[in-house]
Structure 1
Amino acid sequence: MADGGHEGNRQHPHNLQGLLHMAIEAGNESTTSDQMEQMSEERRQWLQEAMHSAFAGQVDEVQQMKECLQELNTDTSDEDGYDRKESALEFLADLCENLDNASDFCKLGGMELLLNRYLSCPEAELRWRAADLVGTCSQNVPFVQECALCLGAMSKLLQLLDLDSSEQVRIKALFSISCLIREQDAGLAEFVKIDGFSVLMRAMQSDVEKLKIKSAFLLQNLLYSHPEHKGTLCSMGMIQQLVSLLRTEHSPFHEHVLSALCSLVSDFPLGIAECRAPELGFEELLKERCQLIQKQEEFQEELEFCERLLKICFQDTLDDYSMDR
Structure 2
Amino acid sequence: MAAEDRPNWDGLLKWSLSHADGTRPTRQLSEEDRKWFTEAMQSQTVDVVKRMKEITQVMQTPQQVLEAHEVTPQDIEDLLEELQDHVESIDMANDLHSIGGLVPLLGYLKNSNANIRAKSADVISTIVENNPRSQESVMEANGLESLLLNFTSDTDMHSRTQALGAISCLIRNNEPGITGFRTANGYTGLRDALESDSVRFQRKALNLLHYLLQKNDSDCNIAIELGLHHLMMHLVSSIDADIREAALRGLLELAKGRKNCTTCDSSIEIGNEKVRQILEDRIKGISLMSQEDLSASKEERQVLDSLWITF
Query: Which TM bucket (shorter chain)?
Result: 0.7 to 0.9
Q: Does 2:73 match 1:86?
A: no
For 1:180, the equivalent position in structure 2 comes to 170
Q: Which residue of 2 aligns with 1:204?
A: 194
In the alignment, what sits opposite 2:94? 103
Counterpart contact for 1:145–1:180, Cα < 8 Å: yes
Gaps of 5+ in 1: 1-18, 314-325
Offset at residue 177 of structure 1 (A): 0.3
Comparing both chains, which one has the higher relative contact order based on Cα–Cα distances under 8 Å and sequence gaps of 6 or more?
Answer: 1
Map 1:123-272 → 2, pairs under 5 A: 123-246=113-236, 249-252=238-241, 253-269=243-259, 271=264
The change in CA–CA distance for 1:70 and 1:205 in structure 2 (over 3 A counts) is: same
Task: Measure, in 2, the Cα distance between the counterparts of 1:220 and 1:64.
Answer: 39
* Aligned equivalents of 2:265, 2:227: Cα separation in 1: 13
- Post-superposition shift, 1:304? 2.8
2: CA distance, partners of 1:267 / 1:155: 29
Deviates more, 1:187-196 or 1:299-308: 299-308
Match of 1:306 in 2: 304
- What is the alpha-carbon distance in structure 2 between the residues aligned to residue 65 and residue 164 of structure 1? 28
Q: Is there any run of 5+ residues in structure 2 with no aligned partner, and where?
A: 1-11
Matched residues, number: 286
* Identical residues among aligned pairs (%): 26
The alpha-carbon distance between structure 1 residues 280 and 239, as it changes in their structure 2 partners (threshold 3 A), is: farther
1:228 CA drift (Å)? 3.8
Q: Which moved more, 1:78-87 or 1:172-181?
A: 78-87
Mapped to 1, the partners of 2:41 and 2:133 lie a distance apart of 30
Q: Distance in 2 between matches of 1:284 and 1:250?
A: 18
CA RMSD of aligned residues (A): 3.0
Q: 2:280 aligns with which of 257, 269, 287?
A: 287
CA 1:307–1:272: 2 relative to 1, 3 Å: farther
Shift of 1:181: 0.8
Mapped contact 1:105–1:111 kept (Cα < 8 A): yes
Task: Point out the more displaced range, 290-299 or 272-281.
Answer: 272-281
Distance 2:19 2:199 in 1: 42
1:237 is displaced (CA, Å) by: 2.6
Tell me the TM-score normalized by structure 1: 0.77
